Amino acid sequence: MKMINRYILNEAKAPIFFGISLFTFIFLIDIIVSMLESIIVKGISIIDVARMISFYLPMILSQTIPMGIFLGVMVTFGSLTKYSEITAINSMGISLNKLLKLISIVGVIGTVFIFFLQESIIPRSYVKLQQLSIKMVYNNPVFQLKDKVLIDEVDKYKIYIDKIDAKTKDAKNVLIFYNDNTKYPTLITGERTYWESASMILDNSKFYRFKDNGEEQLRGEFKEKRIPLTSYFKDIEIKMKDIEGMGVGSLYKEYKQSNENERRPFIVEMNRKIAVPISAIILSILGVLLSVGNKRSGKGTNYGVAIGIIFIYIVFLNLGMVLAYRGIVSPFLGVWFSNIFLIILTYSLYKKKGRVI
């Protein structure tokens, strides 16, 4: 029995890994396209892009592991059935229930690993992602600046930029209002501006200071004027706002501290973070039941069936969450409906296959 179990698990390793990789890549496509745009348009380094993708990866894996296990199990048992290995295994006294027990252990391992990702890795990755975003802004604030827009959230400065050079990222015809606790702000102009070490460097700049009655008090010129923005970035506090980056424990704390009208999103997300990992167990069992006994089904058929069921599962899950967020259905029903659908399908197949195998 141990030898057979080891053989089945060895056969399932590569398909499960392939399935997880496939669905992870599909989920990453949108992020990768967005990152490519950032490289070309905003000048973000490839290293920073790779780091950002690595921080997104745990969040994506928490969703794709159940799907990958399902596809891998279907391919594995489809192959075992096609070459009559399942028949040989059954002739050795190994029943369908024993096979399901073996594969359900794989699903349990996947579930435990997803819980580990959600509670330990994902919150840290989410904070690291925010820190990296701030670092990129810190090193090059031009990412946040646009043509012909007044920006008034940088320290005591209000900044107006007439034009930003798409190639050099330098700003032209910059107008800066510095509020130094006087009635009228000091006016600073610059022909060309670039960013260096969280500071704005103005070439050929002029400044104008005014009295309380509005008359000009002082004016001057600088060949180069440095305006440090360090305090703006130093005071930024990393706070996790996106509930998808929180663990169940953090969500529960936020739920207890929020008022009645703000609790629904936290309840929905807590249910999702429990329902999705549990689906790995259900899908692993369903993958076996869909594959055994279908000798004519090849890998192509198994891929199609697996992707079709995953598509239905994702649609039901997202639709249920939308209805739950809007208060049309309860959070439990909205989130768990997709799992209930899988359980009903699994049970019906088990009753059918149990009589044949």
The string of DSSP letters for 24-38 reads HHHHHHHHHHHHHHI
Using CB atoms within 10 Å of the CB of residue 188, give its burial: 0 to 12 exposed, 13 to 18 middle, 19+ buried: buried
Q: What is the pLDDT along the chain (357 residues), one digit of tens a residue?
A: 678 888 888 889 999 999 999 999 998 887 777 777 666 655 667 787 788 888 889 999 999 999 999 999 998 888 888 777 777 777 777 778 888 999 999 999 999 999 999 999 998 888 888 777 766 665 655 555 667 777 765 667 788 888 887 777 788 888 888 887 778 888 888 888 877 766 778 888 888 888 888 888 888 888 888 877 655 444 444 434 577 788 888 888 888 888 877 889 899 999 999 999 999 999 999 999 988 866 555 556 667 788 889 999 999 999 999 999 998 999 999 999 999 999 999 999 888 876 555
pTM over 0.85: no
251 in a structural domain = yes
Does residue 263 sit in the same domain as residue 302?
yes
- Block residue for tokens 């799992």: 339
| Cβ neighbours of 177 (radius 10 Å) | 16
Intra-chain end-to-end CA distance of the chain, in Å: 18
Question: Which residues share a beta bridge with 196?
Answer: 199
Does residue 9 sit in the same domain as residue 108?
yes
Rounded to an integer, what distance in angstroms lies between the CA atom of residue 315 and that of residue 66?
15
Helices (H) and strands (E) in the chain, counts: 10, 6
Phi, psi of 29 (to 5 degrees): -55, -45
Does residue 175 sit in the same domain as residue 60?
no
Does residue 109 sit in the same domain as residue 219?
no
Structural domain harbouring 78: 2-138+241-356
267 in a structural domain = yes
Tokens of 249: 């424990």
Number of domains in the chain: 2
Does residue 14 sit in the same domain as residue 118?
yes
Which of 228, 259, 292 is the endpoint of a domain?
228
